[in-house]
Amino acid sequence: MTGVQTCALPISLRPGGLRAGPPVADRPARLPGMAHRGVVDQDPRGRGGAPRPRPAANTGSEPHGVRDGRALAVPGPDAHADPGSQPQPRPNAHADPVTRHPALTPAGGGPSAAVPGRRPIRGAASRRRHHRQMSGTAPAGTRADVVDVARHNVAVEISEDSLQAMAASRAHIDAMAHSATPVYGVSTGFGALATRHISPDDRTQLQRSLIRSHAAGTGDPVEREVVRAMMFLRLKTLCSGRTGVRPVVAQTMAALLNAGITPLVREFGSLGCSGDLAPLSACALVLMGEGDAVDAAGVQRPVPELLADAGIAAVELREKEGLALINGTDGMLGMLILAIADVEHLVNAADVVAAMSVEALLGTDAVFIPELHEPLRPHPGQTISAARMLAALKGSGIVASHKENDDRVQDAYSLRCAPQVAGGLRDTLTHCALVAERELAATIDNPVVLDDARLSSNGNFHGAPIAYVLDFLAVPMADLASMSERRTDRMLDRHRS
C-alpha cells in the first residue's frame, strides 16, 4: 500500500475514542427543508434604467480590486488544525484518504488493509488512505473528524481504553441478563412489550427482529458521505462504554468503515422524535450480514460477499445490542456537521462574489466601512462580512472611477445589504456549530449505562435540538441564494446593469 501516512493527533473519544484528519470536500451535504424565500431587489431611487458611467480604463497590467489577487482568501479546511500537528498533504481528486477508529487496531499495531485504488464514483471519496492514530482521552471527537471519515475515507481505529470500557459495561449487561429481575432492553421486549420477560433462548432472535423490523426506509439512497458520518458517530457512542455492547460490535463497524463498505440507507423512514431508527437499522443489518450495501467503488453487491472479501465476520447480536445500534441522532448530526462544513466555505465565497458584483454594477464600497457596522449594529457576522467585502474592493480602480460625478444616492438592496444577509447566515452558523458540538459531546442511547453501572431509560434520542437548527440554517441559506440571484438578474438587465 502506498501513500499511507500516520499522524498522532490529540483528538479522541471518551474514554479513548475516535480520531481523524483534515477535511477535503467531496460533495455538498443536503440541507433539508430549504425553501426559496424571495428577496425583492429594490431600487430606492427608481432610476428607470439610467445607464451607469463606464469606468476609466485601467492602465495596469491587470484589473484592480477583487481580480488583482488582493481579495480575502477563503480559509481552507485546515484553518483550525491543531498547531502542533504536522500538516498533511491534501488528497487530490483521485486520492483515497481513509480514517481509522480508536478501538480497532490490527494485529501488530499496524494500519488496517487499504482498499485498492479505484476510479472515483459519484458520492465516493478518493481511494488513497491516510491513517489517523488516536491516543489519550477526550470527551468527544470533532467536526473535522466526522468530515474526514465521511468524505476522505480516513481510517479509524479504536483505542485500548475504549475496548476496556466497552468490556466493563458489557459485564454489567451480562449480569443483568442472568438476573431474575427483568431489565428493559436486556431481558424484556420493546415498546408495548417493555414489561414482557423474554427467555434467554429468544433474545438473540429478538435483537435480530428489532433491526429487521425498523429497517423500513424508502426512497432514493442517502449520499455515501452521510451514511459514513452516521456510522462514525454511532461508533463514537459505542466506544464510550455507555451502551453495553461487546467490543466486537464496535470493531466490526470500524472494519466496515475502513473497508469502504457502505450500507444502502433510504432517504425516508424516520420521524426524528425517536432518533434515526430506520437509517441506523439499515446500517445494523449489514453488521448482521444482511441488507444492502455497496463496496468502495460504489458497486452494490451481496452483503455476505462484501464481508467475506474484506475478511469481516457478521455479528450475532446479543442482549441490548440491537437497541444500542439504532437509538441515536447520528444521521441528523452527520448531515448537520457536513452542512456546516460546506456553508463555512460558501459564506466566505459569497462575500467575495458580492464584492465582485458591487464592482461589476458600479456600486459603492462606502456602505462597508467599519463605522457603519459594529458600532451601530454589533452583530458579529455582519461585521465580518462587511470587513471582507471592503477588503476585497480595496484599491479597485473600477470603484474609484465613479466616485465623482455619480448622481445616485445609494445602491440596490442586493448590493447595499449584502453584509446584513451574509452576516445573519454567519451568526446562524455559529449557533448551529454550538449545537453540533454539544451533540458531539453527547452519548445517546436508551437505556444507557451510567457511571455507577445502573441501566437507565431516558429520552435523549429525540432529535429536536438538531432538527431545529437544520431548519434554521436552511432559512438564511435560501435568503443568501435569493439575494445572489437578484444581483444576477440586475447584471443581465440592460436597463439596470
| 131: β partners | 6, 155
Instruction: Show the cell assigned to 253.
Output: 463497524
% helix, strand, coil for the chain, step of 5: 45, 10, 50
Number of neighbours of residue 322 by Cβ within 10 angstroms? 26
Cβ neighbors of 481 (< 8 A, separation 6 or more) are: 36
Strands 155-156 vs 99-100: parallel, antiparallel or unpaired: parallel
Strands of the sheet containing 300-302, edge to edge, are 262-263, 292-294, 300-302
**Could you tell me where the DSSP H helices lie in 97-181?**
143-152, 160-177
| Torsion angle of C-alpha atoms 289, 295, 300, 301, degrees rounded to 10 | -50
Of 100, 184, 277, 417, catalytic? 184
Residues whose CB is less than 8 angstroms from the CB of residue 344 and which lie 6 or more positions away in sequence, other chains included:
429
How many other C-beta atoms can be found within 10 angstroms of the C-beta atom of residue 489? 13
Q: How many helices (H) and strands (E) does the chain have?
A: 14, 11
Does residue 413 carry a catalytic annotation?
no
Burial of 398 (0-12, 13-18, 19+ CB in 10 A): buried
What is the Cα–Cα distance from 383 to 123, expressed in whole angstroms?
36
465: cis peptide before it, omega within 30°?
no
Pairwise CA distance, residues 9 & 354, whole Å? 37
Q: Which residues are catalytic?
A: 184
